[in-house]
Amino acid sequence: MLLQYWPQKTDVRFMTLRLPALLFSVILIAASFGLIFTKGLNFGIDFAGGSVIEIEKPANVNEEDVRGILGGLGLGEVQVNAARGTGVEGIEVIVIRFATQDADGGDQEAAQQTANNSVRAALEDAFPGVNIRSSAAVGPKVSGELLRSGLIALGVALALMMLYISVRFQWQYALGAVAALFHDVIITMGMFALTQFEFNLSTIAALLTIVGYSMNDTVIVFDRVREEARKYKKLELGKVIDLAINQTLSRTLLTSGTTLLALFSIYIFGGTVLSGMSFALIFGVIIGTYSSIFVASALVLQLGIDRGDKPKREVVGFQGV
Amino acid sequence: MLNFPAWKVALICLVLLWGGLLALPNAFTDGFLGIEPRDTGATDPQSIAEYQQQMEEAEASWWPGVLPTSKVNLGLDLQGGVYLLTEIDPDEVAANRLETLQADIRDVLNSAPLITRDVPEQQGSTLPIRLRNPEQMDDALRRLRRINPTIGATGGEKIMSIEAQGNDLIMISVSQAARQALAADAQDKMIEIIRRRLDPDGVSEVSITPQGDTRIVIEAPGEADPRRIKDILSRAGRMTFNMADSSPSSIAAAESGLPRPGWELVQDENGISYLINRTPVVSGSDIATANQGYDPDDNSPAVDFRLTGSGAERFGRTTANNRGELFAIVLDGKVMSAPRINEPIWGGNVQITGNFTMQEAQDLAAIIEAGELPGKLGFIEERTVGPGLGADSIRAGTRASLIGLVLVAIFMIIAYGLIGSFAVGSLLANIILILGALSGLGATLTLPGIAGIILTIGMAVDANVIVFERIREEQRAGRSPNTAVIAGYERALSTILDANITTFIAAAILYMLGSGPVKGFAVTLAIGIVTSVFTAFVVTRWFTAMWLRLAKPRKLSI
């Protein structure tokens, strides 16, 4: 069908753009670090601790009323925002947030739980029959652990990816691939710092998925590079890489296209709970596609590959069902 | 590559059929599948009507028993419920356990030949004892070691570590190893007590699971308010019957700091003070059963309980000897009730009345019957999703999945035409297999899990695309449709495996290190990767092979 009209052979000289691309990536990474350290990430309660309570907006009640009711509870600063809740109709909700409770050196964990109880009681008193849609209280101990295990998960994922690629390809590829992954993760985090979208457990899940996706993309290009480098032994490496990227270009665009279609449908229709996660994924897919060409492949070109020998390992023939 | 002998076809059909059968129950109600509704014990007319209707439906069901009936397990974020993470403090458990040994320690040091009468209060979980006569050190150590019990089974760790410091000081403490053993022991006991408190009739779906050595996860589906659970589990549940004295003169003496020796002041919920004897007549271990009952006077909810044989005997004797006196029923340092003994109470049946609601009386009965917690249970994380939000999330997730699926299908057919529709067919097979695998494995589907399925829908076509692009290239290089397809599949295999193994690694790590909803995401992502490789590489290939054989096209229009 339509794909027949896609040019039979594209011949984009991607590698000639690698210096401007490098500059672009370096600027993005620097900006991301800058944003992460100055503006900071907007940690959700998963990582910062604290409470979030969502209620259905009672008729004729506004945020100011809720703020007034909760102001006297001594919870420190309480944020009260109106929003649209998850759901097909998207009813109006009010979201209440407050930070980890100060217990004067006492038990902060217990104070956090008590605070949630008293907010529930105060809301029920003020608006009889109020629909409390969700509530969460995460104590400082748990939030610290969640952040730590999230970061460990990211680190372990990156290390295992590097190991896998080193086994399947030469080390230059592994380095290129992992550089691309760091690139994607840092810039996506920078994007979260810029937009101040909430950074929580789902965001870590999204980052890991981006790592998987970006790796997937990179491997497909590398697979081709390896194949063409073996076929055209005399062709210079930059041309080989361009050839491989061009050959896989329609696949790259198609897969990114379908994945983005699916992700946009989560972002638009999946409700507020999933919007942060799908935002990260959408951004990550785009940046991951870019990085497999301009970071991973460009770095392989810079490092050079060993083209004399046979590759270390050939895929063992696999008989399908 | 295009050769599909009968056994391969049979195998493919079998896998698809099996997946389909496992997924099928999700399309029907429980009643239709012949699953009888759970008796929740609810007594309001609406619940009873619902129960009866579901029961009738279940009885009328013709669903064959050999077919699977289990559905996808919905996570708490989708079905609504309370998640609580609780923690035991090992230091407190150690201190509590050491405290129970204090009476024995006093006894052995007090017996002839006397070593010391002066055993101080313990500080945390250490107890320093100074000897009057250093020559008695060996004797003291021997006596203390004799009363040092092991934790759990015989041969386990001893509770106390007893050390001589200098020539006249004995330091009793709880070693690190003993603390760990005590915490593990306490965790098991806690789980049992929590279960009996939250689910006294064994009918609710509440799940109580250990996490690590000191934590317990409580998940109560369908519960909308975490306060009730927190409240039931916050109480220590230490119940005693003590002789009491409420005469104004004794109370006044006690309030001025001079209570009768061995007695202490406690209050009831109205702030009335009683002086009670510290040594209880009956304690928690003497209580056999506790139930919610009714006060015969005004039919209001009350708590009835029955004592064990020895407890009833002791209580009977004490009441016979103390006619006209008061006794107090004390729960966690608060007087619940302080009746006057008019006649001896034999038989061991006791009732507490008060201004209880039905729920309070039931909860109190469960707390009393379950017994005392070995330590305080600290709540460190709470997540509650109301039923409304859960239902909304399911609707939003389902809608996003369907829209994503339709968009991807349209895209594939526009891009690749007929052969693209083969990929769409295998995409549908993929979704059925994911649902089948989730149902069959009893895995939990969470909202991020739904996102994982949608993401899989987008990425699943990747393997197809890789193959199709290869076929296009091969055809361009002048090969016939058959050889192009064969070459396309052969050359794409290693790429597909490499690409998917990396994503699978990410999903596996997420599963191991993630928690709750995120784990659900990892599960669907991992299952989706496996099923999508199967459907793309096997099912689409089979469709394509059949088509090539039947239509014998001269040229592939892709």
DSSP for B422-487 reads: HHHHHHHHHHHHHHHHHHHHTPEE-HHHHHHHHHHHHHHHHHHHHHHHHHHHHHHTT--HHHHHHH
Indicate if B295 and B342 belong to the same structural domain: yes
Is residue B245 situated within a structural domain? yes
Indicate if B498 and B421 belong to the same structural domain: yes
The interface predicted TM-score (ipTM) is 0.86
Is residue B81 situated within a structural domain? no
What average pLDDT does chain B have? 85
| φ/ψ bin of B196: left (φ > 0), alpha (ψ from -120 to 50), beta (otherwise) | alpha
Domain residue limits at B310: 235-380
pLDDT band at A309 (very low <50, low <70, confident <90, very high): low
Q: What is the CATH number that goes with domain A50-138? A: 3.30.70.3220
Indicate if B268 and B375 belong to the same structural domain: yes
Is residue B1 situated within a structural domain? no
Q: Which long-range contacts (CB under 8 A, 24 or more apart) does B335-341 make?
A: B335/B244, B335/B266, B335/B267, B335/B268, B335/B272, B335/B274, B335/B276, B336/B268, B337/B268, B338/B244, B338/B246, B338/B268, B338/B274
Q: Tell me whether residues B454 and A220 touch, CB distance under 8 A.
A: no
pLDDT band at B166 (very low <50, low <70, confident <90, very high): confident
Q: Tally the domains of chain B.
A: 3
Q: What is the CATH number that goes with domain A2-43+143-303? A: 1.20.1640.10
Q: Tell me whether residues A318 and B392 touch, CB distance under 8 A.
A: no
Domain CATH for B500: 1.20.1640.10
Residue in chain A lying closest to B8 (CA)? A321
Is residue B430 situated within a structural domain? yes
Indicate if B276 and B410 belong to the same structural domain: no
Domain CATH for B120: 3.30.70
Q: Tell me whether residues A255 and B400 touch, CB distance under 8 A.
A: no
CB pairs under 8 A between A and B: 273
Quick one: CA dihedral B246, B252, B253, B254, positive or negative?
Answer: positive
Residue A321 has pLDDT above 60, yes or no: no
The model's pTM is 0.83
Indicate if B324 and B437 belong to the same structural domain: no
Spatial contact of B70 and B213, defined as CB atoms under 8 Å apart? no
Q: What is the nearest CA distance from B510 to chain A, expressed in angstroms?
A: 7
For residue B210, the SS3 value is strand
Q: What is the nearest CA distance from A26 to chain B, expressed in angstroms?
A: 26
Which range, of A308-312, B142-146, B281-285, B518-522, averages the lowest pLDDT?
A: A308-312
Alpha helices in chain A (DSSP H): 18-38, 45-48, 63-71, 108-126, 140-168, 171-195, 201-231, 237-269, 272-291, 298-303
> Measured between alpha carbons, how far is B534 from A166 in angstroms, rounded to an integer?
26
Is residue B280 situated within a structural domain? yes
Measured between beta carbons, the chain A residues lying within 8 angstroms of B380 are 109, 139, 141-142
Interface test with A, best of B82, B394, B459 (most A CBs within 10 A): B459
Q: Strands, E, within B236-281: which ranges?
A: 239-245, 263-268, 273-277
Report the amino acid identity of residue B183. A
Indicate if B422 and B467 belong to the same structural domain: yes
Measured between beta carbons, the chain B residues lying within 8 angstroms of A156 are 509, 513
Indicate if B399 and B508 belong to the same structural domain: yes
Indicate if B341 and B406 belong to the same structural domain: no
Q: Tell me whether residues A2 and B493 touch, CB distance under 8 A.
A: no
Is residue B376 situated within a structural domain? yes
Indicate if B306 and B164 belong to the same structural domain: no
pLDDT at A164: 86
Indicate if B394 and B368 belong to the same structural domain: no
Spatial contact of B326 and B274, defined as CB atoms under 8 Å apart? yes
* Residues facing B378 on adjacent strands: B87
Indicate if B472 and B438 belong to the same structural domain: yes
Measured between beta carbons, the chain B residues lying within 8 angstroms of A262 are 404, 407-408, 454-455, 457-459
Q: Give the mean model confidence (pLDDT) for residues A218-235.
A: 88
Report the amino acid identity of residue B387. P
Select the residue of B12, B459, B518 nearest A201 (Cβ to Cβ).
B518
Domain final residue pick, B361, B380, B399 = B380
pLDDT at A317: 45
pLDDT tens-digit map of B16-56? 999 999 988 888 877 788 777 776 666 677 778 888 888 88
Is residue B225 situated within a structural domain? no
Interface test with B, best of A211, A216, A252, A267 (most B CBs within 10 A): A216
Spatial contact of A66 and A122, defined as CB atoms under 8 Å apart? no
pLDDT at A94: 92
Q: Tell me whether residues A156 and B510 touch, CB distance under 8 A.
A: no
Greatest Cα-to-Cα distance within chain B, rounded to the nearest angstrom: 112
pLDDT tens-digit map of B386-403? 888 888 888 888 899 999
Q: Which residues contact B484 (CB under 8 A, 6 or more apart)?
A: B471, B474, B475, B556
Strands B334-337 and B263-268: parallel
Percent of chain B with pLDDT over 70: 98
Residue in chain A lying closest to B229 (CA)? A117
Spatial contact of B77 and B385, defined as CB atoms under 8 Å apart? yes
Domain ranges of chain A: 2-43+143-303, 50-138
Indicate if B499 and B547 belong to the same structural domain: yes
Q: Which long-range contacts (CB under 8 A, 24 or more apart) does A309-318 make?
A: A311/A169, A311/A170, A311/A226, A311/A230, A312/A170, A313/A167, A313/A168, A315/B493, A315/B494, A315/B497, A318/B493, A318/B494, A318/B497
pLDDT tens-digit map of A98-124? 998 887 777 888 889 989 999 999 999
Measured between beta carbons, the chain A residues lying within 8 angstroms of B517 are 201-202
Measured between beta carbons, the chain A residues lying within 8 angstroms of B495 are 219-220, 223-224
> Measured between alpha carbons, how far is B162 from B129 in angstroms, rounded to an integer?
10
pLDDT at A212: 84
Residue in chain A lying closest to B381 (CA)? A138
